Structures are given as structure tokens and as C-alpha cells.
Amino acid sequence: MLSLRGRFCFGTGLMTEIAIVVLAAGKGTRMKSELPKVLHRAAGRSLLGHVLQAAKVLSPSRAVIVRGPDMDNVAAAARAVFPEAAFATQAERLGTGHAVSMAIEHLAGFSGTVLILYGDVPLITSASLQRLATLVNAQQPMAVLGFEAANPHGYGRLIRDAQGNVVAIREELDATPEERRISLCNSGIIAISDSLLAQLLPLIGNANAKGEYYLTDLVELCAASGHGCGLATCSEAEVAGVNDRIQLAAIEATLQASYRRRHMTGGATLVAPETVFFSADTEVGKDVVIEPNVVFGPGVTVGDGAEILAFSHIEGAVIGQGARIGPYARLRPGAEIGEDAHIGNFVEVKKAVIGKGAKANHLSYIGDAKVGPKTNIGAGTITCNYDGYEKHLTDIGANVFVGSNTALVAPVKIGDGVSIAAGSVITRNIPADALAMTRPELDVRPGWAARYREIKAAKKAAKLKG
């Protein structure tokens, strides 16, 4: 059976390979940060990650990321989505055309459509990329993605002929007054056949106001060579870029509004939607109730019917059906909360499996642990998992009662049905159905406190007289 991976079906029924080239070399000077711009995060995912996830739906057979020098962290982020991605380095930033020319060697032997994307445009959708790619064919070997701008100032304008064909893109600084009145603008995202790209890219010059090699010149070169250039459109918001932290915050707000709508229409109740923050990959089941001021970091799945109470922070966790989390709970990476389990106020769980119906309702830390079904963890319980050098496992069986203010010093195994008295420090394994207690015998001395108060009062009085 023929695999469709890396191939795209056009309206003609033909299949063509897809390659992506992502421009991600920007330093992000206006971000005032040492971190490359494309690695700043929105909704728990890097800007670059958002773009790559959108492109991944098209199953490209090649992915080339153009980065700046010493940007190994950009490569690591890209490999998380495309493990076999290739990387080109743009040592000098001489424009978008120059950036793409750095990637050409990694397209050797490729035959198909090349999608040129930008790593700082995180709202781009797979649907828009698919529409754009489908416009490329033998008669029209290039297509651009455009949008109608509310205020076109600063954008490149799409110039069309009398028949409506795109024949040029004019940058703001190079546009005539008449061209500047055009509201149809260029997103910068291009789809082009590999052969036309190889033919036209070397012809791009830098005779413009900035002295840079503009990728947008490809449109005019395409028209001059007698080929057609197609146009796909999307909303202005979808191709919004990020250049500073203010724009980053605006992107975050847009994403959160989208995720909140998605989860509510999917069957979840958000009591105060504007106070709940999701990550791009958060999965929420039906009939889930999420109270105000809850934050979901990356890697969270919430099962049907679960309740997430106010002021909880959850990251890298799986929450089972009917579980109850919070208020003020913290679930860290590796937390697996079983069906109908309860994790209550000021309880922290890290890299621990909590069994079905188990409860830890107050003021506890459960890390590097297994907790069996229907076990009750009393207030103030701590799994002492770290010895200063290594982490160790605490294995608690089913139907165990752990009394308040208990310290479980790992590695330790607690058998099924064990009862642990409050205030105990457990340092060795406990067999099933045993009582474990490390509590000194209570010593009661009648009248001692009254006599002590009298002695103290007498000393105080003598001091005042003296």
C-alpha cells in the first residue's frame, strides 16, 4: 500500500511532495532577551513550536530550519516536532531572500512544493497552509498567502493586474502613494515549486531602500518569467507576527480565548473562563468543571467528569475520570491521578501514581511514589524521596491509612491494609495489615505547668522590685 506521508493531494488528484523551510534566525532584539525570538512561549509552547505543529499536519517529507549562529536551542526545539529536521545557518541577516538561499542545499534532490514559513507567526493554521499549497500546479507554480489589513501601514502590498493575478509585492518603503492605499497585504508565507524556486532565487537583488534581498521579489520575477502566481487569503490575526513582549502578550490572549471556546464547546464548564489558562496541548474531557484561577502547563490530560478547583496549577499530569483536584493543588510532571481520586488543598504531587479512589486532602507532598487504591494520606504527610544525591521510590499499597504528620523515608514499601499512626517516621518496609507507629511513650506530670508558671511569675516580680 502506498504511503501518503510527505505527499499532498491537489484538486487534480495528483500527489506532490511537500517541504517546509522555516525562517527562525531572528535575535529578537526588541524582545530585550538573550533567548532567540522564536523560542519565547505562548500557551506553553514556543512560537516556533506553534508554526511547526501547524505544518506537521501536511506531513512534509523535509523540514529545513534557518537559524542564526549559536542557536542550538532552536535546533532542539525543532527536533522535538521534526526529529529529522535539517538546519541552515544565516550568519549575516541580509533579508528573507538571503535566509532562504541558506536552506537551498538541504533541498537537494527534493521534487515538489516548498512552503516558506516564519517562526514568529504562531497563529498560522494548517487549513490556511493546505489552501495555499493546493494552488501550486504546473500552470501556476507559485502562490502567496495574503490578508485584508485594517491598517495596511508597514505591510508589503499585493499588486494585482487587471485580471486579478498577483504580479508583485511592494514593501512599504518602496511603494508609491497609490500602492500604499492598497489594503490587500502580504503575510510573507509562500508556496512555490522547487524548480521555480531554484530558478528565481539567484535572481533576487538588493536594489531597495534597505539594501536587503527580499523574498517577496519572487512574485515579480515569477510574473516576468510568464508564470502565474496564485493567492490564498486568511484573517489578519492569523498571520500576526511577534516582535516584542506586547505583541507576545496579545498572541497569548488570542490563543487563550480560542482554547477556552474550544474546551467549553467540547463539554467542559469554565466557571470564570477569563481566569483559566491552558497550554496548546491541554486535553479536557466532557463534563469537566474548572473553577477560577486554574493554570494548565504543558502535557495535561483531564478525564471526563473531573473537577479542578480554584487556584490549582497543573503541568505534565494525567487526571482520571471523576477525580477532584484542589483548591490550591499543585500537580507536577509525572503525576497520574486515578479515577475518583482526591488531591486537596495545598497538596503537591510529583512523579507519582495515585490509585483509584485514593485521597490526599490536605497539606501533603507526594513525590516519586505509588499510592494504591482507596488509600488515605493524612494531612502533613511527606514522602522523603531525595537523599541529597538520588531520588527514591515510596510504594504505598491499597487501603492504607497514613496518619497525619507522617514522614515516609524512601526507599520504603508499605503493604496493603497498613495503618500508620500519626506523627510516625517510617524508615523500613511495613508488612500488610500491620500497625506502624514510631511515637515515644507519653509522659504526663500533673500540676507541673501550674508550678512552672508560679516560678516564672515570682522571678518576674522580683526583677521589677529590684
CA distance 293 to 407: 31
Among 40, 98, 362, 392, the one annotated catalytic: 362
Active site residue 362: yes
Neighbours of 178 (CB within 10 A): 8
What are the residue numbers of the active site? Answer: 362
